[in-house]
Homo-oligomer: A and B are copies of this chain.
Amino acid sequence: MAEHLTPRAQEIAAAARALLEESGPAALTMRTLADRLGIKAPSLYKHFPDKHAVEVELTAQLLAETAEVLEAAEARAPGSPEALAEAYRAYALAHPHLYCLATERPLPRAGLPAGLEDRAALPLLRTCAGDLDLARAVWAFAHGMVILEIHGRFPADADLDAAWKRGLKALHA
C-alpha cells in the first residue's frame, strides 16, 4: 500500500479496489463505495479530495504491483523476455478492471510516488539491454495484447499464446 495515506484513507482505497475488481468501473461509485464502508458518500471527501484521487491511488497500486511482479519474474529467470511477458500478462488478466482503470487514461504523474513509473519500466529495460526503442516496442506489444484480450477484441478462436510467442520471438530475435 502507500504510507502517504492516512490509515482510514487506506481502508477506503482497499474497499474501492475490492469494489472495482468485483464489479467493474461502472460500480465504482462514491455512494456504493461509502455503502461498503458503512458511511455516507459525502464523508469520503474528508479523506480524498475527489473520486479521481481514489482512482489515482488505485493506479499507483497497479503500478507498484506490476513492478513487483516483473522484478520477481526477472529474479527467477534473468534476461528472459518470455518470463517477463508471462508475468505481465498473468497479472493483468488477473486484475482486468484495475488494469483498464490504471491504463486507459493519461498517467497522473503528479499524484504518483516518485520513481514508481521508472521502477515499473526497469525490468523490461534491463532485459532489452538498455535499448530504449526496443523496450518501448515490446511494452506496446504487451500492452496491446493484454488490452485487446481483455476487451474481447480478438476473434473468439484466436490462439493468443501463439501470437504472444510469435511477437516475442520476433522482437527479441
A-side residues, CB < 8 A to B, are: 100, 103-107, 131-134, 136-145, 147-148, 151-154, 158-160, 162-167, 170-173
Given A141-B144, A144-B141, A173-B170, check contact A136 B107 (CB 8 Å).
no
User: In the bound complex, do residue A133 and residue B165 qualify as a contact, i.e. CB atoms below 8 Å apart?
Assistant: yes
Q: Could you tell me the distance between the alpha carbons of A147 and B138 in the complex, rounded to whole angstroms?
A: 14
User: In the bound complex, do residue A145 and residue B140 qualify as a contact, i.e. CB atoms below 8 Å apart?
Assistant: yes
Which chain B residues lie closer than 8 Å to A154 at the CB level? 136
Q: Could you tell me the distance between the alpha carbons of A100 and B133 in the complex, rounded to whole angstroms?
A: 24
User: Closest residue of chain B to A118, judged by CB?
Assistant: B155
CB within 8 A of A152: which of B107, B143, B152, B160?
B107
Question: What are 25 sample pairs from A and B whose C-beta atoms fall under 8 A apart?
Answer: A100-B104, A104-B104, A104-B147, A104-B151, A105-B151, A107-B153, A131-B166, A132-B159, A136-B166, A137-B145, A137-B163, A137-B166, A139-B148, A140-B145, A140-B167, A141-B144, A143-B144, A144-B144, A144-B147, A167-B171, A170-B170, A170-B171, A170-B173, A171-B171, A173-B173
User: In the bound complex, do residue B141 and residue A137 qualify as a contact, i.e. CB atoms below 8 Å apart?
Assistant: yes
User: In the bound complex, do residue A133 and residue B107 qualify as a contact, i.e. CB atoms below 8 Å apart?
Assistant: no
Which chain B residues lie closer than 8 Å to A144 at the CB level? 139-145, 147
Which chain B residues lie closer than 8 Å to A139 at the CB level? 144, 148
Which chain B residues lie closer than 8 Å to A158 at the CB level? 132, 136
